[in-house]
């Protein structure tokens, strides 16, 4: 993956373990995918993962491989983790820092939104399960469940914009 400076400029290439052992900044993508009924698809992280085990997270997400564009990485993660290929719209970015035991994660996360009517097929080993949450219940779901810092940060920054966009598309105000 690319190692970046605080301004997002690529300054080198490192492997994932090295980046997390030393807390090096790198890019990641997170995607908010809605189904045809305007339910946000939450991903449940497997309990054996090093970071955020067992927490609820964005629909899809992951690190950006060296040489891959951010947009291509978001499409790839959506396809790999949920089995869907859908157009995505970039919302913006936020810096997120997580520390869990010896794992130090410093990411510039680029957030996306998409909608699909395709059947969700989760990637075994990467995704423990999904939950579909109606758009009007997302904030209460986040308050009542253990969600990742990456989801919480992105939703805090882009949630209102996402809700407005989804309601506008369905004709609701």
Residue 169 is predicted with a pLDDT of 76
Question: Domain count of the chain?
Answer: 1
Of the candidates 171, 70, 55, 166, the one whose C-alpha atom is nearest the C-alpha of residue 114 is 166
Residue 123 is predicted with a pLDDT of 92
Please state whether beta strands 10-13 and 2-4 pair in parallel, antiparallel, or not at all (unpaired): antiparallel
pTM of the model: 0.94
With beta carbons less than 8 A apart as the criterion, state whether 33 and 114 touch: yes
Backbone angles phi, psi at 2, to 5 degrees: -80, 140
Of the candidates 149, 137, 122, the one whose C-alpha atom is nearest the C-alpha of residue 56 is 149
Mean pLDDT of the chain: 93
Residue 63 is predicted with a pLDDT of 95
On whether residue 121 sits in a domain, the answer given is yes
Residue 102 pLDDT > 80: no
CATH code assigned at 135: 3.90.79.10
pLDDT in tens, 114-153: 999 999 999 988 899 999 999 999 999 999 999 999 999 9
Q: Which range of residues forms the domain containing residue 143?
A: 2-160
- 133 beta partners: 40
User: H helices within 23-148, ranges in order?
Assistant: 70-82, 138-144
On whether residue 169 sits in a domain, the answer given is no
């Amino acid at each position: 993956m690319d190692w970046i400076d605080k301004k997002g400029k690529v300054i080198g290439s490192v492997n994932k373990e090295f980046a997390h052992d030393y807390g090096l900044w790198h890019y990641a993508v997170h995607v908010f995918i809605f189904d045809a009924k305007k339910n946000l698809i939450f991903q449940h992280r497997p309990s054996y993962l090093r970071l955020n085990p067992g927490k609820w997270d964005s629909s899809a997400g992951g690190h950006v491989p060296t040489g891959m564009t951010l947009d291509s990485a978001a499409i790839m993660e959506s396809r790999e983790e949920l089995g869907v290929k859908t157009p995505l719209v970039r919302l913006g970015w936020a810096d997120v820092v997580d520390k869990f035991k010896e794992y130090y994660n410093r990411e510039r996360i680029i957030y996306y939104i998409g909608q699909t009517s395709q059947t969700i097929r989760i990637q075994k080993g990467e995704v423990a399960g999904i939950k579909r949450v109606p758009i009007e219940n997302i904030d209460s779901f986040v308050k009542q469940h253990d969600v990742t810092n990456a989801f919480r940060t992105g939703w805090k920054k882009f949630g209102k914009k996402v809700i407005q966009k989804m309601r506008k598309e369905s004709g609701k105000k």
